[in-house]
Each structure stands twice: as structure tokens, then as C-alpha cells.
Amino acid sequence: MLGAIAALSLAFGGLGYVIARRVTAPTGPRRFDLVVRGLDESGETPMVILARTPKTEVVGQFNLILESGDWVRLGPRVIDLGAGLVGRDVEQPDVPPSLVPGARASWSGIYFRTPAEAGLQAREVAIRTSAGPAPAWLVPPDDLGSGDWAIHIHGLGSSRAGTLRGVQVAAVAGLTSLVVSYRNDGEGPQVGSRRSTLGALETDDVDSAVRYAVDQGARRIILFGWSMGGAIALQLASRSGVREHLAGIVLESPILDWVETIKANCARAGLATWVGALAVPWLNSQTLSRMLGLAAPVRTGQFDQVSAEMRSSFPILLIHGTADTSAPFELARKFAQAHRSVELAAVDADHTLTWNSEPGRWRARVSMWLGSLRTGST
């Protein structure tokens, strides 16, 4: 009997190790799991033909990233071609020569590859962090600056380019933007095993970016946090040296509780929800986290924003997709109910894809909220 219990404990421990390793895995190469079925250039707009999937059938603006390295911007229209196929309009003047039947591709919500593609002027700067220099884009506002800055923080497995959807709005609103990287994200400094600590150490790097902004003359700061970047933004909000300058936070599909998020993702993968909790000791323990290859324990409790008491009453705009398959919408709803300073905007979209679903509405909502910060009506 004791042997069976020991074996069961060992098996559960091993499963927790596997899940924790998966969650903290180093940034890997992009998966090209789509195949271009055809290209129809007979109409006014070229149309790429793809297999119908839960991603390709969603109305909205997306990118098709080809294995060749070319990016193809796709329009919102979805044309049902039957036989399990859909057509998507190519919304760019030139069709890359690599867009041919049989080409392998990856579906992405990252719509702009560079600031220039988003119509933004930017210069590269380096933020000095404890892990080493972290590259960042410094983007001036469209008009005369107000002394207000926006710090844009991307999520786990994403890149600086993913936040350019929000940088556009900040520029129009007169904000100077700093679009940051952090350790082990594929662009920032590489440290140790290159594994993510899910914000535990990455927050220090973004803290350095905030201090850089203040040194450059920022008077008020607005944090834009995407997915794990949202978790980082909320951690920063309680830090001395940040909260004194913080005017508000824009959260896009934020991670509000790592434990519940991991459990939800296990359920989506066909496992029992409770299995996700097996990863928690590996993430929280100093000894076990070291065995995972982490430079520090995550201490998941500090990222439970739903249960935590808000230490400051700074305004928060929380935009979250009701169809989010990575960060449960229910957590966003509970977070907004628990904190009066949170304004929740629900959109029928998946994780970090609310802009892609309705770009005009997204820009208008964020612009209006930013304007209310200036007038003090939030």
C-alpha cells in the first residue's frame, strides 16, 4: 500500500514537472502549421485560399507569416469556398513571390512587423537592466508631446511587434511610447536556461524601462500590458518609483492569476482541470524551481490579482476577449467586479486578438479612455 502511494505521488510530481516545464519553456521557433491551398488573382484584390480552421474562419485583420519570412496582411472578409476551404483578401500592394500553393505558413495576430509598417517613426534604444541591455523602440507622439509616456509590454512567447497595435493609439493621443523587451523573450538579454519566470524577474527589466522614461523627462506614465505583460504591469503598479508616476493601465487579455490560467489551459488540452495545480509546487519552491532551470521561483500567489486588494486606485482599462482560450474571461470579469477602478470592455475574440477583431472599435475605446485620463473623468 505504501509503495502504491509513493508511486502515485511520484507520478503526480512528474506530471507537475512536465506542465511547469511547458509553461516556462524558452521562446522557440514559430510553427508553420498551415499550408497555402491556392492564390486567386482574378479579382480586384488577390485572395489566398486556406483550410478552414477555428483561426482562419474568424472575421478580422490578421497576418499570414510564411516560412520564407514574408508577411502577408489579410483583410477582415472571410469567403466560404466550400470543401473545408476559405478565402482571405490580401491587403497589401505587393504579393510576395513566396505566396504560392504548397507554401507553409503561420497564422498571427501580430499585424505590424516594425514601427515603420505601423506608420510610426522610432529609434532603437537600449535599457540597462540587471540582466544586460534590453532593446526598446522609442516612438515620439504624432504631435507635440505632453510629458506623458506609455510603456508597452508584450506577452509570453510574443515580441515587441505585437504591441504596435496599441502604440499607434498612444502616438495619436500625444504619448511618447517606449516599446520594451525583457530577459529571455527572444529579443532581450539571454540569461541562464532562457526559461521564463512568468513575470517574477521580467518585471525588474520593465521597472528599469520605467526609470529610463522618468530619467528622460516622463511626468506621467501609462502602462500597456498584453497577456503576461499585463501581469507585469500590475506588479509594477505597486512598486515604489513607479506608482508615483503611474496615471493608468491598459490591459489587453491579461494574465490575472497564473494558477487558474494554467488549470484552464490544462482543461483545454483535454486534462482534468486540477492537474494544472500539480505544477504550482515546481513554480513556487526555491529548490524545485531550480530543478526546472528557473533563475528564481515564480511565487504564483503574487500574481493572483483577482483575490488581491488593490493597493492604489489608479484607473484601469481592461480589454478581454470572451472567447479567450488562454486567459479565462471569467477572471477578467471577477477582477473588474472586485475593483471599482477597472473598466471592462468585452469583445468576441480570442487571446490578444480584440484589436484584430474590431480595430476601429479598439482604437476608439482606448483613445476615449486616454482622453478621460487627461480630463480626470475616469
pLDDT in tens, 262-315: 999 999 999 999 999 999 999 999 999 999 999 999 999 999 999 887 666 789
DSSP helix/strand/coil, 79: strand
Residue 8 pLDDT > 50, yes or no? no
Cβ proximity of 86 and 79 under 8 Å: yes
Is the distance from CB of 258 to CB of 231 less than 8 angstroms? yes
Cβ burial 70-108 (10 Å sphere, 16+ → b, else e) = bbbbbbbebeebeeeebbbbbeeeeebeebeeebebebb
pLDDT in tens, 18-52: 999 999 999 989 999 999 999 999 988 999 999 99
E strand or H helix that includes residue 164: helix 164-172
Query: What is the model's pLDDT at position 307?
Result: 86
How does DSSP classify residue 179?
Answer: E
d(CA 202, CA 109): 23
* pLDDT beyond 80 at 240: yes
Looking at the predicted structure, is the pLDDT value of residue 4 above 70?
no
Phi, psi of 265 (to 5 degrees): -70, -30
DSSP 93-135: S---TT--TT-EEEEES---SSTGGGT---EEEEEEETTEEEE
Rounded Cα–Cα distance for residues 146 and 57 (Å): 42
Give pLDDT tens digits for 335-370.
Answer: 999 998 999 999 999 999 999 999 999 999 999 999
For residue 9, is pLDDT > 50? no
- Output the pTM of the full model: 0.94
Place of cell 475593483: 339
The DSSP secondary structure of 195-221, one letter per residue, reads ---TTTTHHHHHHHHHHHHHHTT-SEE
Q: Residue 151 is placed in which grid cell? A: 510603456
Q: What is the per-residue pLDDT across 303-344, written as a single tens digit (0 to 9) for each? A: 999 988 766 678 999 999 999 999 999 999 999 999 989 999
CB 90 within 8 A of CB 45: yes
From the list 242, 231, 193, 143, the residue with the least C-alpha distance to 21 is 193
Question: For residues 149 and 218, is the Cβ–Cβ distance under 8 A?
Answer: yes
| Residue showing cell 499607434 | 168
**Strand order, beta sheet including 132-139:** 123-129, 132-139, 176-180, 148-153, 220-226, 246-252, 316-321, 342-347
Give ∠ CA 104-105-109 in degrees, rounded to 5.
175
